[in-house]
Chain A
Amino acid sequence: MAFDARRFMEEAIPVIRKKVGGSKAICAVSGGVDSTVTAVLMSKALGKNCVAVFVDTGFMRKGEPESIRELAENINMNLHFVDARKKFYTALRGVKNPERKRKIIGNLFIRIFEKIAREEKATFLGQGTLAPDWIESGSGMRATIKSHHNVGGLPRGMKLKLVEPLRELYKDEVRKVAKELGLPDSICNRQPFPGPGLAIRMVGEVTPEKVEIVKEACVIVEEELESAAKRGEMELPWQYFAVLLPSRTVGVLGDARAYGYVIAVRAVYSVDGMTANYARIPDGVLETISNRITRELKQYVNRVVYDVTSKPPACIEWE
């Protein structure tokens, strides 16, 4: 029997209610499908005793912090908005190792949630943790592939008790729950976006300038692939984005020497994020992406490459 979203929902709500009891909970939301579904389930279970919290890390996709307010209004969610951009940049200054980056980010998220929980007198923290998050974060004999910020990035001795109703689910199943809950298509079908955000879409150190470069490159990849899909030239990939590489290469722009960064384009088809195959993007679409990135970001980028690796052996994200 395939996954039954309605049954899942009907079973999940009383479990949350029983776990949290008469206490209060905050729920971490990012604007993605996992955390939105979690927040809605928790609101249904706890009513006013659940407050959603959005943390602007500075590493969100373009327009994300704005659209989360709109979403909160649309689905009538009690939202607490935190601007923590400075804190995140400061904490990551000089850090190059991707696992360190992920753990610092996970830690900082919890510190912020703890502060808000104190203000709200909440003892529980809801998270949209899915199966791949704890699987890949490792435990016992299971190797750590990468520490997901919401599992492997949690600080020791944290006092908030976790509520993770989606722990046994994968992305395709969560989308079915989202539909069952009547969430808008823009949320149900939203492509995955990692919690550490653009901070892990640049190999190496995170700087405000690099965040701006990769943010714009991601917009171009999204626009071009979405438009190609709309024209019927390809099926929209499961996930698609740009990664900024730390190496620089030589180029020639208007007869002058250029020495700029490389952008890697990644686009994959997957169902659950545990295996993935690279998308066969039509040549003309790749060409447009390359031209747009090197022209619109010409001060920084003079080379674009396309990632043709499946998972395994490569992960979908680069860090």
Chain B
Amino acid sequence: MRVLIVDLGSQWTHRIWRTLKYLEVDSEIISCKTPLDKIDADGLVLSGGAIRIGLGEIKELKEVSNYIDNFGKPILGICAGHQFIGMHFGGKAQPSQKPEYGKVELFIDHEDNLFRGLPKKFIVWASHNDEVVDVPGFKVLAHSRDCSNHAMKHEKKSIYGCIFHPEVEHTEHGDRIYANFLNVCKR
């Protein structure tokens, strides 16, 4: 299986690569401007990044819109990647009233595939200035005290997002979340 990581400029993009490598998946970090027809993969992970989706800084991400519409296989967006997916489908991306840095208590609302087999509540680490809410066609999978949409899934497609970072060491069950996403990619 081959899952590529689309780099939106996160400090933790390389940690996603390490996590996938530890899960024995063929993986590579690619630029977010890579043309879709050059991508041969079973799934994509959109990394986080310093770009402020909530302030509309999306001009670098035109090709990523194309991935979301036309890649046709599973996609998981992390942080900025999650926000961009939400915005792409008509959700409201905005600066968070209460941004979260570091430790956050996560509450699972719907286990779905992404959180399969995990506790209803666990610790994750986040680092976000913006968030996305009211995303049409998406189901919210998890929330925290200060962020109502911490994870989401498209009602019909295998498109997922989480605003926290399952790839960092301090997030509990992070590798299980990626393993669950890889299971979705396998189908």
Contacts and interface: CB of A to CB of B under 8 A. Distances in A.
B168 A275 contact: yes
Contacts of A277: 102-103, 170
B18 A141 contact: no
B146 to A, nearest CB: 14
Nearest to B22: A2
Interface in B81-107: 101-103
Contacts of B113: none
Nearest to A3: B22
A312 B127 contact: yes
Interface in A243-281: 270-272, 274-277
Contacts of B18: 170
B15 A140 contact: no
A211 B168 CA distance: 34
A168 B24 CA distance: 16
Interface in A269-305: 270-272, 274-277
Contact of B170 (A142, A143, A275): A275
A274 to B, nearest CB: 6
Contacts of B39: none
Nearest to A273: B169
A135 interface: yes
A190 interface: no
Contacts of B32: 141
Given A272-B169, A275-B169, A275-B170, A131 B14 contact: yes
A1 B10 CA distance: 24
A168 B60 CA distance: 26
B49 interface: yes
Contacts of A311: 102
A169 to B, nearest CB: 9
Interface residues of A, number: 24
A310 B103 contact: yes
Interface in B5-64: 7-15, 18, 22, 24, 32, 49-51, 60
Point out which of A2, A142, A270, A311 has the most chain B C-beta atoms below 10 A from its C-beta: A142
Nearest to B128: A312
A140 B8 CA distance: 10
A21 interface: no
A141 B60 contact: yes
Given A272-B15, A311-B102, A142 B9 contact: yes
Contacts of B160: none
B115 interface: no
A145 B11 contact: yes
Point out which of A1, A143, A272, A274 has the most chain B C-beta atoms below 10 A from its C-beta: A274
Nearest to B51: A141
A74 B170 CA distance: 37
B14 A135 contact: yes
Interface string B93-132: 0000000011100000000000000000000010100000
Contacts of B22: 1-3
B22 to A, nearest CB: 6
A109 B126 CA distance: 36
Nearest to B80: A141
A313 B168 contact: no
Contacts of B15: 272, 274
Contact of B50 (A1, A142, A168): A142
Contacts of A1: 22, 24
Contacts of A310: 101-103, 170
Interface in A123-151: 131, 135-136, 140-143, 145
Interface of A: 1-3, 131, 135-136, 140-143, 145, 168, 170, 270-272, 274-277, 310-313
9 contacts: A2-B22, A141-B7, A141-B60, A142-B11, A142-B13, A145-B11, A275-B168, A277-B103, A313-B127
Given A275-B102, A313-B101, 20 more contacts: A3-B22, A135-B11, A141-B50, A141-B60, A142-B7, A142-B49, A170-B18, A272-B15, A272-B169, A274-B12, A274-B168, A274-B169, A275-B169, A277-B102, A277-B103, A277-B170, A310-B101, A310-B103, A312-B101, A312-B127
Please list the 5 inter-chain residue pairs (A to B) with the smallest Cβ-Cβ separation, ordered nearest first.
Answer: A141-B9, A313-B101, A310-B102, A143-B50, A142-B9
